[in-house]
């Protein structure tokens, strides 16, 4: 009985090595992508339980930290409900909020809006987490 020709055996080994290399590359690439996406996600989670706004741009919002880490509220933005363009904001905020805690935010955003308009109130934390709430201007 004769063995496999050395040229054919070499080709089979090369094909097996290429397939193993592609598999290893795919595994490592997926692992790195998952690690990067997890490191970019905010470490806190907030929600807006209620919000209101008057035609002068004064915003009231009840914000709750539902995450596991303390964070700080750094800005309150008012966005147009239709195209989400920024129409007012207050960035001079540094309110700490602990896990499970609710706070009342009251800020003048100087947004130019009319009574009856719909706007989006957006609250942003120091680590990039945010929450939005759609309200009708009073």
Any idea where the domains of the chain sit in the sequence? Answer: 1-41, 46-136
How far is residue 29's CA from residue 5's CA, in Å, rounded to a whole number? 36
Could you report the per-residue pLDDT of 70-119, keeping only the tens digit for each? Answer: 999 999 999 988 888 888 888 888 999 999 999 999 988 888 888 999 99
Which listed CATH number (3.90.1260.10, 3.40.640.10, 2.60.40.10, 2.60.40.4070) goes with 46-136?
A: 2.60.40.10
- Give pLDDT, residue 40: 58
Distance between start and end Cα atoms, the chain: 93
The model's pTM: 0.68
- Give pLDDT, residue 92: 84
The DSSP call for residue 41 is S
Average pLDDT over residues 19-28: 92
Could you report the per-residue pLDDT of 30-78, keeping only the tens digit for each? Answer: 888 877 765 555 568 899 999 999 888 889 999 999 988 999 999 999 9
How far is residue 77's CA from residue 87's CA, in Å, rounded to a whole number? 8
Q: Is 94 exposed, middle or buried (0-12, 13-18, 19+ CB in 10 A)?
A: exposed
- Give pLDDT, residue 133: 94
């Amino acid at each position: 009985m004769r063995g496999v020709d050395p040229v054919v055996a070499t080709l089979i080994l090369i094909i097996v090595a290429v397939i193993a290399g592609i598999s290893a590359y795919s595994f490592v690439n997926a692992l790195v992508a998952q690690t990067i996406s997890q490191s970019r996600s905010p470490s806190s989670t907030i929600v807006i339980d209620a919000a209101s706004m008057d035609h002068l741009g004064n915003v009231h919002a009840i914000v709750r930290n539902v995450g596991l880490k303390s964070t700080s509220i750094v800005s309150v933005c008012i966005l147009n409900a239709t195209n989400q363009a920024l129409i007012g904001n207050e960035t001079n905020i540094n309110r700490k909020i602990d896990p499970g805690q609710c706070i009342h935010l009251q800020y003048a955003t100087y947004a130019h809006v009319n009574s009856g308009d719909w706007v989006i109130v957006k609250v942003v934390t120091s680590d990039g987490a945010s929450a939005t709430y759609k309200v009708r201007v009073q």
